[in-house]
Amino acid sequence: MPTHRESFGDYQTDAANWITLLLLTVVISLTGCALAPTLSDVTVAPTAISPNADGVEDVTHINYRVTRSADVSIYFVDAQGQRHYFRKAQRRSPGKYDVYWGGVINDPQVRLANDKPMVVESQVLPDGVYIWVIEAVDDGGRSQVAQGQITLRDADTTLPELHNFTVIPQVFRPNQDGLRDDRVAVSYYLTKKAERAQVYLLPVAARPGETRLKYPVAEKSSVSTAEPGAVGYHGYDYDGGVDLNAEPPPDGAYIVYGEAEDRVGNRVVVSATLTIQEGGKPRAEVAGGEIDWRGEMRRVVSVPLGQSLCFTATVANIGPVPIRTAGPWPGQQFKFSQNYNTLAALFGETSWYQQAGIWRFGVNFDTTGVDFPFRWAIGRKEDLEERIIDGKPQYYLLPGKRGLVSGCIEFDQKPPVGTNFWWGGLIHEFVEVANNDIDRISLSVGAP
């Protein structure tokens, strides 16, 4: 038994030694990992640059390595001890990194430009001697810093400022009704040539489940006195996309941003507010595509000279926005020798002339020299909503509503030789003929 105990004792001693040695090895290994530098292989070259986009030493090349996950900052300290960040606490996984720096700091500041606020999002540092600092902070909160000196000479610090940034109107109704709020005019004066200049809309807040989409605004060459990006006056024209048959942005509050950035990275942003109301592409149709031509039999109508061709139709607003219309009102009779212009002059009704954005129902024939010479409002006044705009009554057919249209054309003279076909249509004046060949008939005008 004693021998066994001794043998066992020797075994215990050897095992204990091995365990101790193993634990010590693990501790040393872990300690070694903990003591390994988070940041290494740092170089910044060249140490003197001239960030002015002349192609000569415009940038310096920064290299570094992180051995474990860390938050890395790159900043420059000026003679007054102020920090200017190029990168601030950006997450980096273990690996080697490199980046070119052209003197630009990303430290947004609000300044006044021509007495209006302007955000300077990035700007080249002025000439001088700076201390560059690269700092890595690992997940344990341990910080490691590398630093050196860099000199900036002949730096281009001039900002491409957008002066007199103007958005008119600030309430926008992109519904093609022809009134003054149908379009938005944006303008500014650019003080320095920009590599990139743009204007866009961004919603103040996204709707639930939606992202904040950016809506670009195109520069209008016929308004701008300078080429895109050049010094001078720039004008933009925005219709919400409805002129291209696109749906405009949803109704709501928006910020209109103007941005300009030059070749070296000086970048500024200005802004103004805009509210979109009653936006949408207007759409209408003649219900069923049918016109009730009085006396029509098998697509043929016969009318004695001196008598009238009469009709009734229904117009439906199938779009998302109200549709503006104006007289002549349903029930109005034309003479064949008249058209909407001569009728307006005869009755002294200036609102009966063509108006941009107005919808009317028209009747046309195949030898006319005037497109749809006979026109009526797309509903009776009782079918429409009256609104007083700028002191004048305006009439709208609301979405989902229908308007009854009727009228007559008295043949006070015979139509030109070769006149065979007549039809109806919807006209969106100065925009398009929406449905231009509805319920065609053959018409014969005979002796009384």
What one-character-per-residue DSSP string does 334-369 give? EETT--HHHHHHHHT-GGGS--TT-EEEEEEETT-S
pLDDT at residue 33 is higher than 80: no
Q: Is residue 230 domain-shared with residue 314, that is, in the same domain? A: no
**Are 84 and 107 in contact, with CB atoms under 8 Å apart?**
yes
Region 90-108 average pLDDT: 95
Region 313-322 average pLDDT: 95
Q: Is residue 374 domain-shared with residue 396, that is, in the same domain? A: yes
CATH of the domain at 180: 2.60.40.10
Where does the pLDDT of residue 24 fall: very low under 50, low under 70, confident under 90, or very high at 90 and above? very low
Where does the pLDDT of residue 387 fall: very low under 50, low under 70, confident under 90, or very high at 90 and above? very high
Q: Is residue 309 domain-shared with residue 436, that is, in the same domain? A: yes
Last residue of a domain, one of 276, 298, 319: 276
pLDDT at residue 290 is higher than 80: yes
pTM of the model: 0.78
The two counts, helices (H) then strands (E), for the chain are 2, 32
173 in a structural domain: yes
Question: Which pLDDT score, from 0 to 100, does residue 4 have?
Answer: 32
Q: Is residue 409 domain-shared with residue 430, that is, in the same domain? A: yes
17 in a structural domain: no
pLDDT digits (tens, 9 = 90+) for 111-135: 988 788 999 999 999 999 999 999 9
Q: Is residue 439 domain-shared with residue 332, that is, in the same domain? A: yes
14 in a structural domain: no
Strands 333-335 and 402-410, by their bridges, are parallel
120 in a structural domain: no
Which DSSP state fits 219? B
Q: Is residue 78 domain-shared with residue 45, that is, in the same domain? A: yes
Domain range for 339: 284-446
Last residue of a domain, one of 276, 306, 331: 276
Q: How far apart are CA 360 and CA 379, in angstroms?
A: 9
Q: How far apart are CA 410 and CA 372, in angstroms?
A: 16
CATH of the domain at 49: 2.60.40.2550
pLDDT digits (tens, 9 = 90+) for 210-231: 788 899 999 998 889 999 999 9
Q: Is residue 322 domain-shared with residue 441, that is, in the same domain? A: yes
Q: Is residue 71 domain-shared with residue 189, that is, in the same domain? A: no
The residue whose two tokens read 């006070």 is 412
Question: Which pLDDT score, from 0 to 100, does residue 242 have?
Answer: 84
Q: Which of 133, 395, 167, 171 is closest to 276 using CA atoms? A: 171
Region 202-214 average pLDDT: 83
240 in a structural domain: yes
Q: Is residue 133 domain-shared with residue 202, that is, in the same domain? A: no
Residues in the chain: 448
Q: Is residue 380 domain-shared with residue 346, that is, in the same domain? A: yes
Region 273-296 average pLDDT: 94
Which one is predicted more confidently, 11 or 330? 330
Where does the pLDDT of residue 331 fall: very low under 50, low under 70, confident under 90, or very high at 90 and above? very high
Question: Which pLDDT score, from 0 to 100, does residue 448 have?
Answer: 66
pLDDT at residue 208 is higher than 50: yes
Which DSSP state fits 383? G
Question: Which pLDDT score, from 0 to 100, does residue 243 have?
Answer: 81
Question: Which pLDDT score, from 0 to 100, does residue 35 have?
Answer: 61
**Are 358 and 178 in contact, with CB atoms under 8 Å apart?**
yes
178 in a structural domain: yes
Region 437-444 average pLDDT: 94
Q: Which of 273, 188, 259, 250 is closest to 224 using CA atoms? A: 188
Q: Is residue 140 domain-shared with residue 169, that is, in the same domain? A: no
26 in a structural domain: no
pLDDT digits (tens, 9 = 90+) for 52-84: 999 999 999 999 999 999 999 999 999 999 999
Last residue of a domain, one of 276, 311, 327: 276
29 in a structural domain: no
CATH of the domain at 297: 2.60.40
**Are 203 and 254 in contact, with CB atoms under 8 Å apart?**
yes
Percentage of the chain modeled with pLDDT above 70: 92
Question: How many domains are contained in the chain?
Answer: 3
Helix (H) or strand (E) holding 252: strand 252-261
Question: Which pLDDT score, from 0 to 100, does residue 181 have?
Answer: 83
Q: Is residue 178 domain-shared with residue 148, that is, in the same domain? A: no
Region 288-308 average pLDDT: 95
